[in-house]
Structures are given as structure tokens and as C-alpha cells.
Amino acid sequence: MTFKYEAYGQGAAVDPEQNIRITLAPFRDLDVDNLVFVFKDDQMEFEFDTVEFHEVRPKMFRGSLVEQKCPVLTCIVEPSIRRAMIAAMKGRPLEEGFYEEKRKAIEEAMFVLTMKGDVFRSLAPDYRVKFVQSIAEARRHRVLLSWNRR
């Protein structure tokens, strides 16, 4: 898989070889850090939940030091993917190999999408994507992330 970042609109991660596209879903009134994304390929379309965490980091801009909000962690709520895929399969069984293939695609696409290609790579070299079982678990990761930075 080789995802590319498409910058128009709110952005998208696209794998032209497998015809996979992941985009931010239309706005929902969720918590500030909860985002819903749309997975779409030739076989199915579904939404999944994420929790994203950012930090303010210094960067040089036109010779001045400024602060930039940068992504540091995206937690993908895995049960939301599995439930959505089962519903999208419309009664067909969800094979584990098929699920793992789509899961890997989502992980790679979220990395590309959140980094906006390579835009944030220099500011957030420690950025990562992690699968979690719940939003509460994702928030615990944020607490650990904050604790480790002290």
C-alpha cells in the first residue's frame, strides 16, 4: 500500500492501487478530540472513530519563532471499525485476513492523512497511530503521553 495525501478540501489519504480513500466525515458535535473518518473502497464504505491528541511546539516561520499545534497521537477505536465492517459486509462473513488487510490500510492512511503527507513530519517526528478498544482507553494514553513528557 502506498497512500498519498490529497490536499484539497479537508484532505484525504488515497491508495490508487487498491482504490482506498479515507476522509474526515462531515462535522458532528462530538468532543473536541473525537473525530469520525470515512473509509471507502470498491467493496464497502463505513465510518470509524478516532481520538486525536496535539501539542503546541515551536517552529521557525519567516525568521521568527512561532508556536504550531502538531499531532502527536491518533488512537483509532478498533471496535468501531469491526462493527462498521460487519454492517458493510451485509450478511457476508468477515474473514480475519480481510479484516487485518483493511486495518493495516486504515493505520497507514491515518498516518499520511494526519501528517498531511510530509507537512508535519519535521515538527512531529514522534507522531504515531495506535489502536485502542475505547475512547476511555485513548484518553488514558494521553495522560501517559503527558506524564512521559515531564
Distance from C-alpha of 90 to C-alpha of 117, rounded to nearest angstrom: 33
Residue-wise pLDDT tens digits, 28-46: 655 567 889 999 999 999 9
Quote the Cα angle for 72-75-80, to 5°.
160
Q: Comparing 7-11, 77-81, 104-108, 132-136, which segment has the lowest mean pLDDT? A: 7-11
pTM for the whole thing?
Answer: 0.86
